[in-house]
Amino acid sequence: MLRGEWASLGLLVCLGAGCVDYGLVGYGPEQGAYEIGIEGCVECFPGEGEHPTRVLVAIDGSQSMLVADPDAERAAAARRLVERQLAHAQTEFCLIRFASGAEALSDFTADAARLEEALAVLGEAGGSTNFPSALALAGSLLESEMRSQTEQDRGRSSYHAVFLCGGVFPASGPEDIRQSVRQIAELGERYGAAGLRLHFAYLAAGEPEPVRAETAVLLSGLASIGSGAYLEFGSAAEIDFGAIPVLSALPPSPSTPVWAVNTNALPGPDGWLPDSDADGLDDGREIGLGLDPLRADSDGDGYGDLVELLLGLDPGRPDPCADGRDGDGDGLRDCEEAALSTDPASPDSDADGLPDLVELRCGSSPLLPGPLTSPWDTARYRYSLQPDELDFRIEHIPLVPGLGAGNTILVQVDVFPASPYMHPGRFRTARLHMAEPFGQSPGRIWLEDSDFE
């Protein structure tokens, strides 16, 4: 929906999420350059602002604990962890006690009363130590929980499993234990979870040094396999799961869930440079290389000029593209993604909140997560992410005269962030075309949510 007087600005709106308010501000006639500012709100899919955490805690309840932890400090430490994490509304716990066998004392729940019932018996002890049974039950419960969630919910959920062990492990079978942990660790990637970490703690009270050292090597190695933390306690009074840093806060949201890019402007040493064909190479460089500054693919082979240069190919000599589709809608053809080793099924291959093509145009790597640097910095972005909408304001988007084609602005919202396991992200995009001459009169335009693809 357009409002205001824009005839002198030569504005075309390529409808393509949110009620967006656009304003055009000139640097001044002496500079001959202009900026566009954007603010608005975008409807995200319900729950996109949520980042649930599932924590499974497995506590050794074997007979050895009657000596190593007679006052059940391990259960008290689990209680402190539960109480602290339940302050976050999106955290659920599952509690396991293991000895000669393993028993689930609760399913994944945030119900304080049900967890209290489980905590009341978590400190009981008796029987031998059967650690493999704990791993088998934990893997089964984690997989069942992941399978019960929708693909979208798994992509937002972070999982942690904490194992507290004491006593003597069987001398045989350490490789079997490692293999069990590997199988659990693979569940996150298999089901596209936002994250899965396995943490191991060892109560070494009263253990002979050779036994302590051997057990520590095994458990610390398991933590490494599970991308988690290893803790060792010399006495029961020292048990504290709060020392596991990743359990102190919910998983973070993307640093910047909204981006606006002028596809026809590139940063140069002395200001912005025109890129009339939006291929990621400025017009002057293309002319100097003998390329066509009005064709993103000068030789018509299916590979964009920028991609060919990055690959060491000649953008003036055809190297036929075998697959010209763009399966994930990130602006890169599938053949280009194959050559660049990016993910053709994910618009954000490194799961850092930035679309692959945006990173290439900015001189960043779409395979290495991390923030962009000035002038592609985040200082000009202001936003508030709610469970079902994103309010944002973006300033200082440049408008750069080129070879008469105008400037196309893309506003992209990361409504479904990609996970560290490369679960495909999901972006909504609005397109604005600013026709030249840009003019000097300020103005505004509002777009409804339906204007975003």
The answer to whether the Cα torsion of 301, 306, 310, 316 is positive or negative is positive
d(CA 297, CA 149): 43
Mean pLDDT of the chain: 77
Looking at residue 267, its pLDDT comes to: 78
Looking at residue 137, its pLDDT comes to: 96
d(CA 153, CA 51): 9
SS3 98: strand
Looking at residue 445, its pLDDT comes to: 55
Q: What is the pLDDT of residues 393-449, one digit of tens each?
A: 776 777 888 886 788 888 777 766 555 444 455 778 888 887 777 765 344 556 567
d(CA 372, CA 377): 6
pLDDT reading at 250 higher than 70: no
Only one residue has tokens 């002057």, namely 284
d(CA 430, CA 31): 28
C-alpha distances out from residue 239 to 182, 214, 234, Å: 26, 20, 9
Sketch out the chain's domains with CATH numbers: 7-48+254-289+346-451 (no CATH), 53-248 (3.40.50.410)
pLDDT reading at 242 higher than 70: yes
Note whether 279 and 287 are within 8 A (CB).
no
Please state the separation of Cα 269 from the chain's center in Å.
Answer: 32
d(CA 54, CA 407): 46
Q: Would you state the structure tokens that stand for residue 364, as one six-digit string? A: 């960043």
pTM reported for the whole predicted model: 0.55
